[in-house]
A = this chain, B = another copy of it.
């Protein structure tokens, strides 16, 4: 690996000058710059990012951290592409970690990211009082939370209006004539799940419908629980005529349960899922969903983080992106 020293020798200048050229310092005369650039070119020189980060102060290290529950969840895959594309456009690299909603893993990766001297970290907190995340903020590391809320949030954040998205979906079902609507929710200690459930309740209330406890089931945002909860709902003496599922993975599970019973969608049972899926159009029938702008969430988060690096003192920005009801044929 060639280093600053090699370039300096070849260009017959000091390493300080080479460093200035790399960092676009204006205090270098064009002629010198040309010579140095030529030398770098000839040697195929690339600055060593590791040495650079060791010396450089925060905000200029060109490395972001991103911790998500699971990259196999299409929502987070899309979100992470949003982050990465913005990072790439700004010559930043991103270190991606999967926490599996596991606090121990989150802690491990957070320690890795700190000790890698990342400029900042983007993450959905595992829950709203995640102590590790608070520690991070306390220590002055730029954090942008996405998707989920912290109970006391002083950082930049990007979220989606979950309550409204759910409200619209349920309203749509009601307008279609459904009166018995089943809900498959997620863990209630994460804000998104609560907000979506609240949107569901709001919509029912707005139409003077009561929410029977029997129709509200709690899953864990994973596929298996979607299937199990759907089975429970369909086994009811008076089963719902429509089911609203609060995330993508559980929706897949619910569809499994429905197909297994040879029920027809939407004739026997209508379905709306939270989160769009790349293959929603390829389902039979195409699935009606509340689409979250996951890619845009990632983009916005990365933008916000980069802005903060430029301007550490700026006030925290709270972004609330709008979800969109995409009506296809499953209800």
Contacts and interface: CB of A to CB of B under 8 A. Distances in A.
Nearest to A227: B282
A278 interface: yes
* Contact residues of A: prevailing secondary structure: helix
A278 B252 contact: yes
Given A72-B77, A77-B77, A116 B49 contact: yes
A81 to B, nearest CB: 6
A253 B46 CA distance: 42
A49 to B, nearest CB: 4
B98 A81 contact: yes
Interface stretch (A15-23, A50-58, A206-214, A316-324): A50-58
A77 to B, nearest CB: 5
A211 B212 CA distance: 60
Q: How many copies does the complex hold?
A: 2
A201 interface: no
Contacts of A282: 252-253, 255-256, 259, 283
Given A278-B72, A278-B252, A48 B80 contact: no
Contacts of A218: none
A239 interface: no
A46 B71 CA distance: 27
Interface string A218-243: 00000100000000000000000000
Interface string A1-30: 100000000000000000000000000000
Considering the complex of A and B, which 7 residue pairs feature the smallest CB-CB distances, nearest first?
Answer: A255-B282, A49-B115, A96-B96, A252-B279, A252-B282, A256-B282, A72-B77
